[in-house]
Every structure is written in structure tokens, then in C-alpha cells.
Structure 1
Amino acid sequence: MRLLKNIKLWSSAFAMAMCGIVSSCDFLDVVPVEQPGLSDATQDAESTLGFLYSCYAGVRSPMSYTDSEASTDEYALPELWGHAAHKVAYNLNTPQNLIDHRWGSFYRFVGQTHLFLQELENARGISEQQRTEWSAEAKFLLAYYHFEVLRFYGPCPITDSYIPQDTPNASYNGRSHYDYVTEWIVNMLEDAIRSGLPDTRTKDVSEWGRATTVIAKALKARVLMYAASPLWNGSFPYPEWQNKNFETPGYGKELVSKTYSREKWVRAQKACEEAIDAALSNGNDLYRNEEKYAEQNVPLPYIPGINTSTPEGEAFAKKVLLMRYVTQMRPSEGNKETIWGLNATDDNYIASIPTRVLKLNGGNWYSGYSGISPFLYTIEHFYTKNGKLPKKDKTFYAKEDWLKSAGISDREDIININIAREPRYYAWIAFNGGDFSSTLCAGQPLKLELRNGEKQGYNPELFNRDHCVTGFLCQKYIQPNLNLSANNSWNLQHKPKPLIRMAELYLNLAECQAALGNDDALDNLNIIRERAGVPALTKKDISKDMTLMDWVRNERFIELWGEGHRYFDIRRWVEGPKYLAAGKREGLNAEAKVNPTFEEYNQRVKVPQPYAWENRMYIAPVFYNEVYKNPQMVQSPGY
């Protein structure tokens, strides 16, 4: 788990050492007589490994509420926060007013990785086995960074060697066809797998997070599934978009496929199967430890309508806690589900914690930001306890009764939509009248009072920026035993953010199978559902009203909720208008007034923010200067 710290330290040192060689930054006017040179970065094994760590430093966490990934239909944020997520969702991301500029960062790390490969040939004090393995890791990173550009910006330039600063602009590469870039990435990953990546990294905990064959195969499967998806498989909304000057070998000036290819799904399915086999063979599997809560002295959570003193109620509550641990456990703590993770800190936990959690010894309240607020779309698309959508479960409440009180004594604010739901709902969603966490409030759960302006409710005089937007809150980023004491001390431990986890692999395979009309997709969906305590699907559940692909996509929405996938999924499915257009995002009437009545609060309303959708948002714009300085480049369509 020391990898991220090492990356940060080495990245800082390496950036200063390389400044005069690969960039034009000026830290000091007076330069010391002896400066570190490029050769110093590979003078011994430790320096060379540090150089390699610096190449990992561009790996991004997909779970930050401040970035584009948070701009979808999963959750709202207070409008005054004004993060990139808002501006992307409002369609304000333009070449002249770039909100989320990843292009330069990713290509900077591509260049740094090429520089590492160049210098690795002459590195001193390392074995040939190290040289081979570290070269394979660099190839993996080149594939990763190119894919991150590809899925964010669409067809992109391939940088297959280090580009010196004095390279003439006319020699820069333009965008290559999406399929050509995909093939280049896949070839690079396969080369890395063949040429030295280890299968696992279990000997030294400091190596956790570095590339393995399992990670590379999992990434390859994702790359090919994206290429098979509608956006890049015949349904791109700007089919005539193409290069003006630059040509891709075999494709000419074209950038996107204009016709559907079933073979892309066949190839992606095979890659998914290979990735799952590799993961299982090397010890990865879904996290299933239902007793971890007992090891940490976490009490079973309150669940409305569930009696946890009965065997059935206890089993259900254990599933709830199990699902809270899935993304909040380290591999060293027994979690083998995370195939690749990033041990990065972020503020998602504090953005999720409600206001006025606990009055401290000094008399002040401790408050979180209370801002990650699930939309009603989320609330209505987690399943009932029967494994069905609420609107399709004939045993569930009628829709006109969803926002009425469930009539629970001492918890009258709990509404019917929060009753009889599946374990993941209670694991990750919090609601008025229910409990937030199990130990947060000095070892006790926090009972939410989201209508009370003196507690967790809307009150601009107390909390101008920070408040719940939709009437629901998020618990997915909260470690199950998180505990704040009255003396303002925490037991907070930042957990790795899953970049790829086992559940995604099964869902990727299920999507490929569904696209090919293969009912085996049910088996892979049921692996996920069974672990979560949700009844299995059968062929009888598939109909025109809820197709196999509908089940796959909704299962993906639930299981991977808040993990950064939805942003890319909606786009690759070409379903932006369906989910992200103006007027689509709804919540309860949580921002209307201070201390509203039950009836005033529990109304369905459009979240009053200027959300918008245009088809140009399927890929991001490139900063205008990148296009201006490179005569081979074309701007993303619609910008």
C-alpha cells in the first residue's frame, strides 16, 4: 500500500530533475552548478524504480465528485459547488472554456513513459529480469493512457515514441481512426503480457497497484467492449466527421465506423472470458466475507421493515454490510475483488457525510458537506427485495404511494419507496428517517432528520453551500466502522479506489453475451445478484418490456453506481438524451424551504439546475490551442 506515496515522492523529485530536459519550467533564476541530469534517473535500481513509479502518477481515480464522471444521472451536487461535474452536465465544456483538461496530462505521462523506456536500456544496477518486467509495465501504461484519451476524447493521436520538444508542428500526428487506436492499444497490452508482466504481486505490499497480466487482460477486455459498443460500432451521431489532412493507415481520413460489426462483440466476449479466467486462476474473486463487520465490532444496521433478531433478518443485514465493505477493503484485509486499484485520497467521504453529525466537546458541531445526493432515477432503479424494478414489481407499492409515509413508529419520515428494497440499496443509499452509517456518531448511527433545518435539513443561514439536494444521501464512500468522537478524532482510513474490480468483469461479459443474443448472460448477472442477496433472474424475466440488455445495463447501473462507469456507459450506448437531457434529473423537494412539512418535502420535483444535453457531448472537446498548433488535428464534432 506504499505505492501511491512512492509515486508522489518520486514524481515530485523526478519532475524537478527532468525540468530542464523535457519542459520549459523555471523553478529558480539561479541554477546550481551541479544539476541532476537524465542519466541520474537510472543510475541505480532505486532511481530507475522511482522513475517507473513517476510514470504511474497519471493514473486517475474514477470516483471523484469533482470531475466529469459525476455529471450523470447518479447523483446531484449543490449548485454552488460549481465543480467540473456541474459545468460538464450543463454543457459548458468548450474548446475555449475547457472544464476538464485531461488531454495534456495523459500525453505528458505518455511522453514520460516513453522517456523511461528510452533510458531503461542503459539503466545501471538492475537485473535483466527487472529490465524486462519494468519495460512491460511501461508498455501497459502506454496502453492505459492512450485508452483514457480514447474513451474521453474519441479518436486520438497515437504517440508510439518519445517526441522531442523541438519537433516541428507539422510532424505531429493527427487523430487516428477509433478502431486503429483500439488495435494499437490491444497490441501494446498483449506485448506487455507476453514480455514480462507478473501474474500477481503478492510478495511485497508496496508493489500493489502495479501492472500484472490479470490487470492487462481486464483492461484489454474493457477496451474491446468499448469498441464494440454502439457509439463506435456504427451509431456515431456525426458519421461524416473525418480528418482534413492526416490519414490513418488502412482507413484514410475516416475516424469512426459507419457500419455495425457483430465480430467486435465476439472478440470482446472472448477477451472478457480470458480476463475472468486469468483473474480466478490468480486468486481474484468477488468479496464474500459476511463476518467482517463482527471483526470490527460494527453493529447490524437498522433496516426499515427488517427484524435483524430473526435468522432471515440477520442474513439480510449481513448482506447490507457485505456490500458496504466491497469498495472499502484493502487486498491485504482479505479483499481479492479489486483487480486494480488506486490508493489515492479523495474527499468523497466528507462530501457524503451529512451536516451536524455530532456536537463536539467544545460546543461546536461537526458537519460534513452533505452534498452527494442520489437522484430519484437512482432510487427507482435499485431493485426491490424481489430483484425487480419498483415500477415492475407487482408486490411493491403503487407508484402514487411511493412518497407517502410508511407509518413506522418514531420514524414517520421514512417513505414507502425506502421499504422492501434490496441489500445494495440499504448499503449505499441513505434517506430521511433512516440511519446514516453504523458507528459514525461516537459509535452510534446517525438518524437522519433531513427536514429539520437545525440538523441535516436545508438551511442556507447555517450551510449556504453544503446541503442535500434531492432528499437522499450516499453511503458508498463511507467505511463501515467510521467513527467520529466528541473530541473530534477519527479512525478514518483511506481505502483504494477500484479501477477494475471482479464484478465489472462479469458485467462486461454479460453485456457482450446480451449483445450477441446469448442467454448465458443470465448466469453472469446472477453471479453478481447472488453475492448481493438478490433473487436470480430466469428466462421468464426477459420480455419486450425488460429485455436481456435492459437487465444487463440496469445491473451495471446498480453494482457500479458511483464508481465512474456511468459517464462512459451512457455515451458508448448513445443514450445521452434518454438520461441526461434537460428535465430528466429529479429529486424530492429538499431545497424548497427551511423546515418544510412532510407533504411539502415529499414531492417529486425537477432538480433546479441548468442541465443540458447535446450530441456533441458524446466526446469531449480538445483545447483550441492543441488544434491551432497542430495542422494535423481536427476538433471534436459539434464544437
Structure 2
Amino acid sequence: MKNILNIIEKRVLATLTGGLLLLSSCGYLDVVPPEQPGLGDATKDYETTLGFLYSCYAGIRMPMTYSGVESGADEWALPPLWNEGHHGIVYNNQTPTSLSGGWTWGSLYQFAGQCYLFLDKLKEAQDVTEEQKAEFRAETDFLLAYYHYQTLVMYGPCPILDGFVPMNAPSTDFPGRSHFDYVVDYIVDKLDKAAETLPADRDQEKWGRATSTMAKALKARLLVYAASPLWNGSFPYPEWRNTNFETPGYGTELVSHSYDPKKWERARAACEDALNHALSHGFALYDDLELYERERIALPYIPGLDTSTPEGKEFQKRVMLMRYLVTTRVGDGNKEIIFPHPNNGDMVIGSMPHSFMKLNNGSDFGGYSGVSPLLSTTASYFYTASGKRPAEDPEFTPENQWFASAGLRGREDIVKFNVGREPRFYAWLAFDGGDFSNSLMDGKPIKLRLRDRETHGMNLNKTPRDNNVTGFMSQKFIVPKLSINRSGSWLNNQSKPRPLIRLAELYLNLAECEAALGQNDKAIAHLNVIRERAGVPDLTTSDINNPLSMTDWVRNERFIELWGEGHRYYDIRRWMIAPETMAEGKRTGLNALEKENPSFEDYNKVVPINQPYVWTSRMYLRPVFKNEVYKNGHNMVQAPGY
């Protein structure tokens, strides 16, 4: 049997024996597809039943793209001419009449409908034991929880569809939005039920199918979100409520407007349970420091690092460790990824510098050079080698000298800001004068020349749309041994999963709860597990409120460790800190787009990103397409501000 990740990758909507199980509508009012010819064959034996189940998995979303919902955060900028979903979100251009920018409401309810259809047909399945049916039902419970979870955290209070709704039912019979806390409880119940039956882990052949560890981890994340300020007393639209539809026990209210510390206690218990469950069943932080050697890859160049010492070589190994962390799977010995997604996404080619190699036929080969980490957050939040933000590290280069040349022989373009940083900075980011990747250029790293129009710099004639925006580049998710040869062929371009949930998040979730509850010693201990793996000095009690609070340390560690993995969109909203980093004029970078072939001094100026960014409170939630509200106008209300 093929690995489920490979199967799902090929079945965005599964083709089953006897007919297509395609969901034709785009809305939650049409959750149950009409009976189709040959649908009875979908459960005629074990293999076809399993294939039907796999079709229910196909709605699991890939959050690491530059066109999807999660791109609307403060981690990176994109070239303005791309006009991606990212831009629609961060420019506040999303409206109830537009489906751009990662519209997901309809597809999430469609796949919930696929799950209900599967459960109905599972009763007729042939050559499937009762034990197997029980496991399939548990997997479907997990998926129903997941699809409702995704809807809830993006759109806020949402309808609960807990079973079949007849296709000929009047619109008044379709539910409206349920209270946020009520939906949370519904999802938690589904996940608890699934966890009772599902195995804790899967072998490589079944890796990607639901497990009890996935269920507990998703529950923990949801409860942390529910305890956060946006949903725990600080929602900015206190008058928003249903007009007609009522939630049992809540009436027409949609969001609780008073703070409840018990939500943090509930979340802490779930986080502790999820972490202990994962650890007791063999999950572990990825720690293979020697894979680079087995793959015969040279250790990376680190500016200013003395690699002749054991400490220097250990640092290089940590950089490689963090690159492998997000580009390996369970078969490679990676036991950290709890919930994988099969798709590489579109950020790899979008991140690569353009014109980095001449092919045998004389043409240039390169990427789009567009995924541009921000200076104001990303490059400034990643730690120094001392484990502090650059602006708050007294041992680091003074801020007024950050963008002066570090004076490295043969690497004069490297500025002091990019010297003396932590391993994750060098693992996942890149900058002028430094190296990009390990093997991409015919087995060698690319030495970046971001001021040179003939190679990686801005060239409006050759690449008018594809130019780096901030002076920093992302190399996260680039497989270390990926290479392009002189014929233009991709070598070692394995399909690698993306981590939807990994063990590090479980430590960070628990630390966040402990910080919220004033349990600083416990929070520090859990943060230090993550810091030690990354090669960063331990946090101590003397670091708290000097100047970052315990909560700020947790948030900063989360920003770094989970950078680019789809979390930040939700984090800045649930913490209600988006105005601090998302508003007009907040995003900065280097002066990468001023002119072609700029001088060193011109290039290394800090400037606001020249794009029409804006933040308003309505951006905490996404709008529902107008047709959804119109079709169910009796019960459905629009998100506030739209």
C-alpha cells in the first residue's frame, strides 16, 4: 500500500470506483452531495472503502503558501506585482463579494459533507471488520473536528454541521453561527472521541492518517487559541450577535466578553496531556546532527564563525539540523512531526534567487526571489548568538552600526547585523554576501549578490515582477541536497511533507499557558527545551522583564521556532498585537528596490516597505461570501465590519 501522504497528494478530490465523489457547490448549505450513480461501489471491499476514506482527508489545508490565508501575517513581504492572495489580505481588500485570498469556507464544509457521506456508506462496507470500521469512524471524527476547527479560527463563530441535512430542507432549517465557546466544545468532544480509538502513531506506510496524538495536539492548540485575548474577553465588536439563530445556553450571543482564567487552566491541562502522550509514544524533538555527513553535504558558511573549534563546528551542525527538521519525514528518522501535510507548497521556487546559474545552453536559471522576510519583525526577532533580540543584547553590535560592513575578507557585503546570530537565523534566512542553500547551484551553495542586477539583484528588464523586497531571503523548506544541474534538471527534489503540527509546538503551547497562569519557572523550563535544541543559551529568571516579559519571551520563541509554518496569522490576531506590526508603515526592510546596482550604502538603508498595508479591526475575522449569507439570510450573519 502506498503512503497515505502520496495518495492524498494525488487525490485532491478522490476518483472512486464507479463514479466521482465531487462536491459541486461552494457553500455549507450544500454539505450533502446528491446520490450519484455507482456510489454503492465506493464501499464494495476494503480497498475501495479505504480510498473513500482517503478522499475525506483531501481537504486538509496546506498553510505554507504565498497565496493562502496564512500568508496574511507579518513574517515576510512579496513583490507587489505578484498580486497574490497575500496582498488581498494585508491590504484589507477582502470583501463579501470576493473569493480571493484563500477562500476556504465552502471547501471546508464540502469536506465535512464528504465525511458525513462516508459515514453513511460505511455501514454498507463489505470485507471491512467492525474493528476497522471503528477506526475509520474515529478518523472521520478527527477530520470533522479539523474542518470545523479551521472554519472557527479563520471565520470566528461558525455553523456546526453534525450530521446529514436533507438537500430539500428549507434554508431556515440550516444552522447559523454558534457561539465560539460552543463550537470549541463540539470540536473538543469530537477529538476526545477520536483519541479513544485511534493509535498513538502510524508506521511509515500509514503516516499521515489520524492518530490519537494528532487529536490531542489539535485539541491543545484549539484551547490555547480559545483562552487567548481575542476570544477571552477582548473581542473588539461587543454588539455582534445573531439576529435569529440561538446557541443552546448562549442565546444569540456569539462571543464571550468577560475574561475567564479557567480557559487557561483548561488549555494547560490539554497541552500537558498532549505533550506527555506524544513523548510517551516515541515522539521526540529532531536531533540528528550527522545527517549532513551521511548525505555528503558540506557544512554551511557562517559569517564570522571560527569553524576550527569544536564549538564552531557544533554551531554549523545546529544550522544543518534546523534545515533538516522541516525537510525530512519519519522514514528519515524524524519523529518530531505529529501531523504532516504531503505538499511542498509554492514557497520553494518563490524563495530562490533568480539568475543564480548559467545552463549549458547559455540561459539563466533561477527562482522568483520573492519571499522576502521582514527586517522589522523576522530579521529583528531572531536571536543573537546570546539568545536575545539584537536590540536588547548589550553584547551585540550597537544598533547604529548594524548595517555597516562586517569587514569579512571576500564577503565585504555582509553587514554586522548578520554576524553573531543564532543557528535558526542562518538555517532559514539569507542575506547579501551570505550563502543560500547547500547544494542548489550544481552541488554548491549560492553566494548571494543582491545588489548585482546581472545575478540576484533587481533587474526591471529581465525580471520586472520578481524582485526581492526587503534585502533578506527565505531558505526554509529547501531540501539541503536539492540541486539544479547545468542541464536544468532538478536533482534530489524529493517530495517532503510540511509540518502542520510538530512536537516543538506542544512545548510552546504549554509554556504559553504557564506564562498566562504566572508559572514562570515551568514556562522557562519548557522554552529551554526548544532553545537548547536550537543551540541557543538557556533563558533564566533574570531575563524576565529585562526587558521582555515572560509572555513576550514565549511569543518571541514561538515566532522564531515556527516561522513560516502558518502559525503567525492566527497568533497575532488571537493575541491582538496585529496593530503593532501590521499597520501602515510598520513593515520595514533594506532599500532593495530603490534602483539597479545600488551602492552598498544605498542598499543598506532601512526603509518602510512601499506597499499599501493597513490594519483594521475587521481583519481579525474573514468575511463570508455574500451568497452564503443570502442563501441562509434567516439564520446567517456576516462577520463584523464587512
Give the TM bin, normalised by the shorter chain.
over 0.9
| Change in 2 beyond 3 A, CA 1:163/1:459 | same
Query: Does residue 1:322 correspond to 2:321, yes or no?
Result: yes
How far apart, in 2, do the equivalents of 1:615 and 1:558 lie?
25
AA in 2 matched with 1:314:
K
Equivalent position of 1:89 in the other structure = 90
The one-character-per-residue Cα deviations of 1:238-288 (angstroms, maximum 9, x if unpaired) are 011100000000000000011001000001001001101111111101000
Q: Is the 8 A contact 2:14 2:51 kept in 1?
A: no
Q: State the match for 1:528 in structure 2.
A: 530
1:61 and 2:66 correspond: no
Report the Cα offset of residue 512 of structure 1: 0.4
Cα distance change, pair 101–14 in 1 and its aligned pair in 2 (3 A): farther
User: Shift of the alpha carbon at 1:118?
Assistant: 1.1
Partner of 1:398: 398
Distance (whole Å) between structure 2 residues aligned to residue 198 and residue 543 of structure 1:
43
Q: Provide the rounded CA distance (Å) in 2 between the counterparts of 1:10 and 1:95.
A: 26
Distance in 2 (CA, whole Å) between partners of 1:123 and 1:15 is 14
Q: Distance in 2 between matches of 1:259 and 1:411?
A: 56
For 2:338, the equivalent position in structure 1 comes to 339
1: distance between equivalents of 2:451 and 2:248? 61
Contact 1:79 / 1:609 at 8 angstroms: preserved in 2? yes
Q: Tell me: CA distance 1:24–1:427, structure 2 relative to 1, closer, same or farther (3 Å).
A: closer
Quote how far apart the aligned CAs of 1:24 are.
7.5
Which residue identity is paired with 1:288? Answer: D
**Secondary structure of the residue that 2:92 maps to in structure 1?**
coil
Shift of 1:576: 1.6
- The residue aligned with 2:423 is 423
The equivalent of 1:73 in structure 2 is 74
Shift of residue 101, structure 1, vs aligned partner: 1.4
Aligned equivalent of 2:29: none
What is the deviation of 1:44? 1.0
Q: 1:156-167 counterparts in 2 under 5 A?
A: 156-167=158-169
Pairing 1:249–2:244 present: no
- CA distance in 2: counterparts of 1:277 and 1:367, whole angstroms: 45
Q: Cα distance, 1:19 vs. partner?
A: 5.5
CA contact (8 A) 1:352 1:477 kept: no
Q: Deviation at 1:173? A: 0.2
Structure 2 residue aligned with 1:628? 630
Is 1:541 the counterpart of 2:543? The answer is: yes
The residue aligned with 2:409 is 409
The separation in 2 between residues aligned to 1:600 and 1:345, in whole angstroms, is 36
Aligned to 1:181: 183
Structure 2 CA distance, aligned partners of 1:617 and 1:459? 34
Q: Give the CA deviation at 1:444.
A: 1.2
- Report if aligned partners of 2:13, 2:21 keep a CA contact under 8 Å in 1: no
Q: Which residue, out of 560, 578, 581, partners 1:579?
A: 581
* Aligned 8 A contact 2:148 2:160 in 1: yes
**CA gap 1:538/1:456 in 2 versus in 1, 3 angstroms:** same
Which amino acid letter does the alignment assign opposite residue 301 of structure 1? P
Once the two structures are TM-superposed, the CA of residue 485 in structure 1 deviates from its matched residue by 1.0
Q: Distance in 1 between matches of 2:593 and 2:352?
A: 18
Q: CA deviation at 1:166?
A: 1.7
How far apart are 1:414 and its partner, in Å? 0.4
- In structure 1, the gaps of 5 or more residues are 26-34
Determine the C-alpha separation between the residues in 2 that align with 1:381 and 1:23.
45
TM superposition shift of 1:318: 0.5
**Aligned equivalents of 1:492, 1:307: Cα separation in 2:** 32
Unmatched 5+ stretches in structure 2: 27-35
Q: By how many angstroms is 1:23 displaced?
A: 4.4
Q: Which residue of 2 aligns with 1:32?
A: none
Q: State the distance in 1 between where 2:144 and 2:21 align.
A: 21
- Name the TM-score, length of structure 2 as normaliser: 0.96
Whether 2:512 is the aligned partner of 1:511: answer: yes
Instruction: Provide closer, same or farther for how the CA distance between residues 10 and 508 of structure 1 changes in structure 2, counting only shifts above 3 A.
Output: closer
Distance 2:336 2:164 in 1: 36
The within-5 A match list for 1:214-613 is 214-376=213-375, 377-490=377-490, 491-519=492-520, 520-543=522-545, 545-613=547-615
Distance 1:4 1:223 in 2: 24
Give, in angstroms, the shift of residue 114 of structure 1.
Answer: 0.8
- 2:130 alignment partner, one of 128, 131, 143: 128
Q: Residue 229 of structure 1: CA displacement?
A: 0.6
Query: Aligned with 2:14: secondary structure?
Result: helix
Residue 188 of structure 2 aligns with an amino acid whose one-letter code is: V
CA distance in 2, matches of 1:24, 1:70: 26
**Residue 12 of structure 2 contacts residue 59 of structure 2 at CA under 8 Å; is this kept in 1?**
no
- 1:623/1:535 Cα in 2 relative to 1: closer, same or farther (>3 Å)? same
Q: Which amino acid aligns with 2:89?
A: V
Counterpart CA distance in 1 for 2:367 and 2:385 is 31
Aligned to 2:103: 101
| TM-superposed deviation, 1:365 | 1.1
The residue matched to 1:69 in structure 2 has which SS? Answer: helix
Q: CA offsets, 1:192-247, max 9 Å, x none?
A: 112x2112112xx3311000111100011011111101100000000111000000
- Could you say what secondary structure the match of 2:484 adopts? coil
Q: Shift of residue 545 of structure 1? A: 2.5
Change (3 A) 1:573 1:45: same
| Percent identity of paired positions between Structure 1 and Structure 2 | 55
The answer to whether the 8 Å contact 2:356/2:441 transfers is yes
